[in-house]
């Protein structure tokens, strides 16, 4: 019975309603998430929900809040170490961008393709998120 219904045709009249609903959903999501313009003044790096590092694009400065989790390589490059691996991030102060340049998070290493200026940089296996902030992140105590 089920296969008979499926085999009848690749497209049916009811598809119009379904696809219209999906398109409305997509457009609504675009409007809700992308219309409000946010100025980027800083960024925070969290691992498992805990802030490990935060940066200020206005003063070109970085503050490390969890010293054991961050290894400074140079002024623009930091290695974020989590329980499951590491992500090396590079800060582009001029363009207010942060990218992941090296990681051991898996085969596809998707976090290395993300750009902060287009949205948060997320490494799912390591639960690492680099979030842009409009306001300068305040120092995290502890």
Partner 1 sequence: MGKKVAKLSVLCALSLITFMVENLLPPLIIPGAKLGLGNIFVMLTLIYMGLPQALVLVLAKSLLSAIIVGNMFSLAFSFTAGVLSLIVTYLMLRFLSKNISVLSIASTSACCHNLTQLCVFWLLNANVNVMLYAPYLALLGLLSGLVTGFIVYLITKKDLKVLVS
Q: How far apart are CA 32 and CA 27, in angstroms?
A: 9
In angstroms, rounded to a whole number, what is the distance separating the alpha carbons of residues 139 and 33?
27
Q: Which is nearer to partner 1, 33 or 94 (CB)?
A: 33
Q: Which residue has the tokens 């045709």?
A: 9
**Start-to-end CA span in the chain (Å):** 62
CB-nearer residue toward partner 1: 1 or 141: 1
Smallest distance, partner 1 to C-beta of residue 52, A: 13
Q: Which is nearer to partner 1, 22 or 67 (CB)?
A: 22
Q: How far is the CB of 116 from partner 1 (least distance, A)?
A: 10
The residue (of 7 and 74) whose beta carbon lies closer to partner 1 is: 7
CB of 110 to partner 1, least distance (A): 4
- Strand locations in the chain, DSSP E? 42-47, 50-56, 61-64, 70-74, 77-82, 85-92, 97-103, 121-123, 128-133
SS3 at position 69: helix
Q: Which residues bind partner 1 (CB under 8 A)?
A: 2-3, 5-7, 9-15, 17-19, 22-23, 25-26, 29-30, 33-34, 46, 48-49, 84, 105-108, 110-111, 113-114, 119-120, 122, 124-125, 127, 129, 131-132
Q: Closest approach of Cβ 78 to partner 1, in Å? A: 19
């Amino acid at each position: 019975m089920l296969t008979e219904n499926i085999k009848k045709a690749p497209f049916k009249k009811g598809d119009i309603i379904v696809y219209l609903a999906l398109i409305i959903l997509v457009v609504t999501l675009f409007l809700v998430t992308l219309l409000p313009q946010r100025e980027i003044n800083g960024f925070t790096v969290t691992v498992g929900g805990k802030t490990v590092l935060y940066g200020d694009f206005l003063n070109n400065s970085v503050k490390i809040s969890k010293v054991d989790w961050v290894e400074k390589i140079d002024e623009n490059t930091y290695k974020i170490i989590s329980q499951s691996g590491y992500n090396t991030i590079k800060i582009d102060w001029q363009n207010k961008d942060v990218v992941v340049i090296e990681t051991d998070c898996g085969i596809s290493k998707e976090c290395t393709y993300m750009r902060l200026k287009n949205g948060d940089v997320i490494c799912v296996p390591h639960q690492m998120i680099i979030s842009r902030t409009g306001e300068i992140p305040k120092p995290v105590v502890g």
